[in-house]
Amino acid sequence: MADTVRELPSEIAGYGAVRPYTGAFDNLGTLRRAVRTVHAARPGSDKVLPDIDAAIRACDLRDGAVISFHHHLRNGDGVLNHVLDAVARAGLRDITVAASALFPVHAPLIGHIRSGVVTGLAASTIYGPLAKAISHGILARPVLMYTHGGRARCIESGDLRIDVAFVAAPTADAYGNLTGSVGRAACGPLGYAVTDAQGAERVVAITDTLVPYPAVPIEIGQDWVDFVVAVDSIGDPSQIVSGTTMATTNPVALDIADTAARVIAASGLLEDGFSFQTGAGGASLAAAAYLGRIMSERGVQGSFAAGGITAGIVEMFDAGLFRALMDVQAFDHAAVDSFRRSEAHQTMSASMYANPHNRGCVVNRIDATILGAAEIDRAFDVNVTTGTDGVILGGSGGHADTAAGAKLTVITTSLAAGRHAKVVERVTTRTTPGETVDVVVTDGGIAVNPRRPELAERLHAAGLPLTTIDALANRAAELAPVPPRDRSHDGRIVAVVEYRDGTVIDVVRAVPET
Amino acid sequence: MADTVRELPSEIAGYGAVRPYTGAFDNLGTLRRAVRTVHAARPGSDKVLPDIDAAIRACDLRDGAVISFHHHLRNGDGVLNHVLDAVARAGLRDITVAASALFPVHAPLIGHIRSGVVTGLAASTIYGPLAKAISHGILARPVLMYTHGGRARCIESGDLRIDVAFVAAPTADAYGNLTGSVGRAACGPLGYAVTDAQGAERVVAITDTLVPYPAVPIEIGQDWVDFVVAVDSIGDPSQIVSGTTMATTNPVALDIADTAARVIAASGLLEDGFSFQTGAGGASLAAAAYLGRIMSERGVQGSFAAGGITAGIVEMFDAGLFRALMDVQAFDHAAVDSFRRSEAHQTMSASMYANPHNRGCVVNRIDATILGAAEIDRAFDVNVTTGTDGVILGGSGGHADTAAGAKLTVITTSLAAGRHAKVVERVTTRTTPGETVDVVVTDGGIAVNPRRPELAERLHAAGLPLTTIDALANRAAELAPVPPRDRSHDGRIVAVVEYRDGTVIDVVRAVPET
């Protein structure tokens, strides 16, 4: 539809031809996955190499290569920085880093970009100093910002060709069987790494816990791993809980969370077999707790909760509110522990989780999801990619995936934060299209997407305070009377925001340093 | 080497160009895996179809298609016959059935071949009336006989393109998550089916136990399954134990088994970390028991046992003789039960098990294996494909794979069976090349492959009765003075025996009906 198509160039230098986003479910059907190159192991050959430098040589890594990383250790990850240092020592240039997500701990990438070692980046979310540097134009080529499902899609399709995947493995054996369940830096499921290992031409496992063969329970099998390197530490597991995974204590946020739970309760979906996912935002986590209380009161037993899994979700699972957990990544140590002890706490690959181009991903089975927003606009489009200042502050992660799959997508946000409106005329950057958003819950009331009149009726019947998105936007503008930022001085495209199907849903442009 | 190359045509009608076998490890290195076609699911779409006929329509199955089946239910499998009946009802012709193995229960295939519904077959082993019918020329096109690892290889490489894989699933949910751990026909791991599901264009799960979503523990994820069909019964699980998986009580066989265990004990490999696989033959199973006794006496803790897993191996695992089991397929109910209850009883896909063209399969990690033989010859070549009468009686299964991977491959056989020698001048059909066989243990003594002088020394030092393969062949000829069958009346090629790397190691020709 015309109203959802942003003006995009037909070609972006350093990215290529642009296929513009046209609709959330426009590019399904019959698809082809790429030819894969593998290097067959000879019986008796050894996979263990003395260090990362040796692995880089063994993989025959060249200038211009694409290397990948996963973010199960989140802000505690030590592997990406170690590898990039080794890449720099090897004298390599023009490397593209295709990460599942990048955290403040990865700020040293800035140095590698400045020195020309790294000239390309791709990530589903980028936090911290690196995000700021990108927004200020540190890279000549635009960053590719995919969704978690879109990343799996483009690896499988061959749109993203990974030369070498580096897998941070909490436990490995000498022949490359890997598990995240146990080890000094146990992180739980290795869902993002599974997709990398199956897609890359070469796979290097880096571990600080090398155990006798076989490293059971195996999550990534030896048939996917070329080399194994033992290091002193793959990172700091205490930093798995970081940033967005803390629950809120803000009373306004708690009130929004409570209302979001009541929206779900009134939606008609909260019956036996109910399935649920929250984002990692503070309000979302609080909403899960309220929802759990309603489920207990009603005696509803859910089928599963999905996502990154948190302590709050584990509590609901342990209380019998869900029969299973579908987990691509543990968000805290309670989730790591639950994954280790519970058979019904299942791992899933990034593709199984959220890839729109397979035979059916888990987000397709979610009844209700509660997600956050940096901004939401009159078209229900959501921005979790940039701040109102235009600077990158995150990215989709699974946001756009979950919204597309879930029967009911609830966005929670305050009307304004400080002097800036959060319900706006038009989002700074479109991450998640409004057609996949059903309702927004704010401290100024609830607005239902006009595409969902039957939902509005149900919420109205339940006595929930409904208003319209326009009324919310008007109220937000009153509360935060700062005019939208003047974007006329923004520069070239610094990031391309891909929707999960590989179409371009928006771009991020360079903003001047302030 | 010239002495291991059999005369083969350069082209076989109905098969294509022949790449002759040249050596067990000649075709490794860098390889390409095929482009895959997938059909992306639309959120909200349903995968459950009312019956197999509907699944055939939904998959748009056409004349000339290739459909695949796995053999986890062995002689109890009910799915293949059900599907072929539906294929016939649909009026389809010229179908190729690519099975992992075919059993006596699949004899109704003969009728579908006679009627022209099925015109092509591929299987790693074929037992029963169908094997006989093939040897007598029922099919115009030769049957492809691959190894278990070779089957995974050719599916991944695209040499074998599967249009629709039919997966017999002991438990499934409505969105295609599958497990073999539980259900009315629980069969344990689904290792062969994993490779089919990942390789086929369409995947149909057929189950008699449809459970609420998600069907945990998930072995094959929903992202690999297009459709789900619930039927009354997928087969008779009591028939999983059948044929070759019964332990022997024959005193000569027991004596051979005891000697085989002592060969391993004297080989230098029986130390902590020892790994082991047996075939499913009676003598092999008995040998495992003897080996377990030696391990207990010596206080050796093995790392893992692999393969199809049997009650005997489970006993060793439960006694702590192995830390883990690597299981592609349960051979009996004790193995099914162990798989359900033990985390260290791991599943593995057919590719992870034995595919020579991945980054390292499990057979590469096996220290010692004990395998059977229909015949073994002066070049240590082994035949498990045909009888001395030239009629197909099995096939490699994992025989050639395990022999290639293991450090020590022990073949056990009696010198003769009835009037037929088993240690022969030249095997009727070459299944497993002699260069991958280290020692043969018979009721007439032990012969070590001259390629392994250091092994001969160790066995000699341990006081084991060594002789030569020529002496064994001569003695067998004396015991069973029937001259080799006159093969001059054999007809056209009815089966092509592929080595695990896709080269042709032998062919089977039609034999006249007697």
Return contacts of B106-112, CB within 8 angstroms, 24+ apart: B106/B77, B106/B80, B106/B81, B106/B130, B108/B81, B108/B84, B109/B80, B109/B81, B109/B84, B110/B138, B112/B84, B112/B87, B112/B88
> What are the tokens at A75?
């802000």
Say which amino acid occupies B98: A
Q: Are A261 and A453 in contact, with CB atoms under 8 Å apart?
A: no
Write phi, then psi, for A187 (nearest 5 degrees).
-125, 5
Mutation choice for B interface testing from A28, A35, A38, A274 by most B CBs within 10 A: A38
- Using a CB-CB cut-off of 8 Å, the residues of chain A touching B25 are 42-43
What are B397's strand-pairing partners? B147
- Which of B337, B342, B362 shows the shortest CA–CA distance to B352? B362
Using a CB–CB cutoff of 8 Å, tell me whether A217 touches chain B. Answer: yes
A350-373 tens-digit pLDDT = 999 999 999 999 999 999 999 999
- Which of B109, B18, B32, B107 shows the shortest CA–CA distance to B67? B109
Burial (0-12, 13-18, 19+ Cβ within 10 Å), A95: buried
Nearest CA in chain A to B221: A352
Helix, strand or coil, per DSSP, at residue B19: coil
A141-190 tens-digit pLDDT = 999 999 999 999 999 999 999 999 999 999 999 999 999 999 999 999 99
Mutation choice for B interface testing from A223, A225, A226, A228 by most B CBs within 10 A: A223
> What are the tokens at B131?
């094997």
Residues 258-317 of A with CB under 8 A from B: 273, 275, 303-304
CA–CA dist A107, A232 (Å, integer): 21
Residues 6+ apart with CB under 8 A from B128: B102, B103, B104, B105, B106, B107
- Give the number of C-alpha atoms closer than 13 A to the C-alpha of residue B501, restricted to the C-beta side: 22
CA–CA dist B59, B69 (Å, integer): 15
Helix, strand or coil, per DSSP, at residue A302: strand
Helix, strand or coil, per DSSP, at residue B66: strand
Q: Are A156 and A405 in contact, with CB atoms under 8 Å apart?
A: no
- Which of A64, A298, A66, A346 shows the shortest CA–CA distance to A190? A346
Query: A41 vs chain B: nearest CA distance in angstroms?
Result: 5
Cis peptide bond upstream of A50, omega within 30? no
Q: Are B401 and B395 in contact, with CB atoms under 8 Å apart?
A: no
Q: Along the 514 residues of chain B, how does pLDDT read in single tens digits?
A: 334 446 899 999 999 999 999 999 988 888 888 888 999 999 989 999 999 999 999 999 999 999 999 999 999 999 999 999 999 999 999 999 999 999 999 999 999 999 999 999 999 999 999 999 999 999 999 999 999 999 999 999 999 999 999 999 999 999 999 999 999 999 999 999 999 999 999 999 999 999 999 999 999 999 999 999 999 999 998 887 755 555 678 899 999 999 999 999 999 999 999 999 997 777 778 899 999 999 999 999 999 999 999 999 999 999 999 999 999 999 999 999 999 999 999 999 999 999 999 999 999 999 999 999 999 999 999 999 999 999 999 999 999 999 999 999 999 999 999 889 999 999 999 999 999 999 999 999 999 999 999 999 999 999 999 999 999 999 999 999 888 888 888 899 999 999 999 999 999 999 998 7
**Nearest CB to B221: which of A213, A217, A352?**
A352
A289-310 tens-digit pLDDT = 999 999 999 999 999 999 999 9
Say which amino acid occupies A287: A
**Nearest CB to A36: which of B33, B223, B226?**
B33
- Using a CB-CB cut-off of 8 Å, the residues of chain A touching B200 are none
Where b means 16+ CB within 10 Å and e means fewer, A402-416 reads bbbbbbbbbbbbbbb
Q: Are B121 and B144 in contact, with CB atoms under 8 Å apart?
A: yes
**Nearest CB to A326: which of B214, B351, B363?**
B214
Query: B437 vs chain A: nearest CA distance in angstroms?
Result: 14
Q: Is A323 left (phi over 0), alpha (psi -120 to 50) or beta?
A: alpha
CA–CA dist B146, B501 (Å, integer): 9
Burial (0-12, 13-18, 19+ Cβ within 10 Å), B249: exposed
User: A2: pLDDT confidence band, cut at 50, 70 and 90?
Assistant: very low
> What are the tokens at B374?
């229909």
Say which amino acid occupies B35: V
Strands (E), A161-221: 164-169, 171-173, 178-179, 202-207, 210-211
Per-residue pLDDT at B246: 59
Residues 441-460 of B with CB under 8 A from A: none
**Nearest CB to B25: which of A25, A42, A351?**
A42
Average confidence score pLDDT of chain A: 94
Instruction: Write down the pTM of the prediction.
Output: 0.95
Q: Are B171 and B193 in contact, with CB atoms under 8 Å apart?
A: no
For residue A439, the surrounding DSSP H or E stretch is strand A439-442
Using a CB–CB cutoff of 8 Å, tell me whether A359 touches chain B. Answer: yes
Residue with tokens 């095929």: B34
Q: Are A394 and A354 in contact, with CB atoms under 8 Å apart?
A: no
Mutation choice for A interface testing from B276, B359, B401, B408 by most A CBs within 10 A: B359
What are A409's strand-pairing partners? A369
Residues 6+ apart with CB under 8 A from A444: A415, A423, A467, A471, A472, A475, A476
A434-468 tens-digit pLDDT = 999 999 999 999 999 999 999 999 999 999 999 99
Residue with tokens 């779900």: A264
Using a CB–CB cutoff of 8 Å, tell me whether A46 touches chain B. Answer: no
Where b means 16+ CB within 10 Å and e means fewer, A72-82 reads bbbbbbbbbbb
- Using a CB-CB cut-off of 8 Å, the residues of chain B touching A275 are 213
Q: Is the pLDDT of residue A242 over 50?
A: yes
Residue with tokens 């700091």: A236
- Which of B247, B261, B259, B260 shows the shortest CA–CA distance to B294? B261
For residue A376, the surrounding DSSP H or E stretch is strand A375-377
- Using a CB-CB cut-off of 8 Å, the residues of chain A touching B175 are 360, 364-365
Using a CB–CB cutoff of 8 Å, tell me whether A474 touches chain B. Answer: no
Let me know the angle formed at the C-alpha of A424 by A419 and A429, rounded to the nearest 5 degrees.
100
Compute and round to an integer the Cα radius of gyration of chain B: 22
> What are the tokens at A152?
């799996």
